[in-house]
Amino acid sequence: MQRTCVLLACALLAATGCRGRGKSPPDSMAGMPDMPSMGSDTGGPGAAARRAVRLTPAQAQAIGVTYTVVQRGPLDRAVRTVGQIVPAESRLAEVTTKIDGFVDRLFVDATGLTVRRGEALLTLYSPMLVSAQEELLAAQRLAASVDSSRDVEAWRNAQTLFQAARKRLAYWDISTEQVDRLERTGEITKTLTFTAPFDGVVLEKMIVAGQAVTAGMKLYRLADLSTVWIEGDVFEQDVGLIRVGAPVQVELGAYPGRSFTGRVSFVWPLVQVQSRTNRVRVELPNPDGALRPGMFSTLVLTGSVGTDVLSVPAEAVVMTGVRNLVFVVGPDGALEPREVTLGGRGGGRVQILGGVTAGERIVASGNFLVDAESRLGGGSGMTNMPGMNKEGPKERP
């Protein structure tokens, strides 16, 4: 096979050399017209002129010509990218302590555990807490002992001291119920109980039993995974198609054949310089916990090219490299070449910015053969081809 290709190449070079020295071509090629280049269209003086083409229904059927209408309406485009599931930042919480103390007991002692709202996480022993409770009880006794009818100023000062002691405990996240019980019973609590702020999972646990902690130290990091985010990157040329609120189909390798539906919740205002991509965020409900942070997914975003645009099937456009053409069916049935300006693409269609109007009938398929005939001169050029006579294809005997 390789030897045959080499021989053919040598023969072609020899034939070219003969033509360059002015020798006449072989008799079998004499009288044949020069064939135009099907792929060249420089638009210059030497470019082949295109003319209207006339086809009978039989000819159109024989070469597979079909027709369509220029439509006006919405045009959407599917944009595919890869994303990663992350916890929703608005549903994260860190459990911290506002007083110094020691971890007395851990009820939730491992990362990844599921917790419920109000569930006890740990108890913290704090000498500061004990002192603050003693001060509250002392302020309560003082306020009860001062007679407001005898010394109004002393009574006011006692009440102020009592309220300040209550607020101090409230600032340390001691609940009102605990403070009321302390005032009612006089029993001092040595430990402070920390509870979960919502239903979720433990992403991080930073403490162990018996550990000394200081004010402001992080104890747990929790996440509510009933709703998750998926973050992905789209190319710069697709950014203009993405709108907040647009629907998104999500596919995961962990669940073949199952798709999830979410919506675009945010589009980053900056483009990453090195990758020329723009990050988008998709918000997705996760009621059964199937979507887990760290999973990779495929995002199919529905981008909008426009809500009221002219469009034609992409295959109806002849792209020469310099011009874009469609063949419009004229009033007399002739197929007239017309230059058009293209816009965005989507769903197998292309936007038309100029050149045709809504409702015009154009060639939908077989346009490359029509274009070849148009460059050859139009008219009845196809009638010389087998089966292209005006009477339609003849049946074989």
For 293-323, how does the pLDDT look when each residue is reduced to its tens digit (9 = 90+)?
Answer: 999 999 999 888 888 889 999 999 999 888 8
Q: What band does 48 get if pLDDT is binned at 50, 70 and 90?
A: low
Q: Is the pLDDT of residue 22 over 70?
A: no
Same structural domain for residues 231 and 84? yes
> Given 246, 272, 305, which residue is the final one in a domain?
305
> Given 248, 276, 305, which residue is the final one in a domain?
305
The predicted model gives 202-220 an average pLDDT of 95
Asked whether residue 7 is domain-assigned, the answer is no
Domain with 296 in it: 78-89+225-305
Q: What band does 11 get if pLDDT is binned at 50, 70 and 90?
A: very low
Beta carbons within 8 Å of 305's beta carbon, 6+ residues apart? 75, 76, 77, 241, 343, 344, 345, 346, 351
Q: What is the pLDDT of residues 231-262, one digit of tens each?
A: 999 999 888 888 899 899 999 999 998 889 99
Q: How far apart are CA 306 and CA 155, in angstroms?
A: 74
CA quadruple 160, 166, 168, 171: dihedral positive or negative? negative
How high is the pLDDT of residue 386? Answer: 47
Same structural domain for residues 161 and 197? yes
CATH of the domain at 241: 2.40.30.170
**Residue 181: half-sphere exposure toward Cβ, Cα within 13 Å:** 8
Same structural domain for residues 261 and 291? yes
Same structural domain for residues 235 and 326? no
Q: What band does 265 get if pLDDT is binned at 50, 70 and 90?
A: very high
CATH of the domain at 168: 2.40.50.100
**Residue 61: half-sphere exposure toward Cβ, Cα within 13 Å:** 9
> Given 305, 338, 364, which residue is the final one in a domain?
305
**Nearest residue to 88 (alpha-carbon basis) of 279, 291, 242:** 291
**Residue 97: half-sphere exposure toward Cβ, Cα within 13 Å:** 26
How high is the pLDDT of residue 17? Answer: 43
Q: What is the pLDDT of residues 180-196, one digit of tens each?
A: 888 899 888 888 889 99
Same structural domain for residues 210 and 245? no
How high is the pLDDT of residue 321? Answer: 83
Query: Would you give the distance in Å from CA 321 to the centre of its chain?
Result: 32
Q: What is the 3-state secondary structure (H, E, C) of the chain?
A: CHHHHHHHHHHHHHHHHHHHCCCCCCHHHCCCCCCCCCCCCCCCCCCCCCCCECCCHHHHHHCCCEEEECEEEEEEEEEEEEEEEEECHHHEEEEECCCCEEEEEECCCCCCCEECCCCEEEEEECHHHHHHHHHHHHHHHHHHHCCCCCCHHHHHHHHHHHHHHHHHHHHCCCCHHHHHHHHHHCCCCCEEEEECCCCEEEEEECCCCCCEECCCCEEEEEECCCEEEEEEEEEHHHHHHCCCCCEEEEEECCCCCCEEEEEEEEEEEEEECCCCEEEEEEEEECCCCCCCCCCEEEEEEEEEEEEEEEEEEHHHCEECCCCEEEEEECCCCCEEEEECEEEEEECCEEEEEECCCCCCEEEEECHHHHHHHHHHCCECHHHHCCCCCCCCCCCCC
Same structural domain for residues 133 and 205? yes
Looking at the 3D structure of the chain, how many domains does it have?
3
Asked whether residue 22 is domain-assigned, the answer is no
Share of the chain above pLDDT 90, in %: 52
Q: Length of the chain in residues, anyone?
A: 397
Asked whether residue 49 is domain-assigned, the answer is no
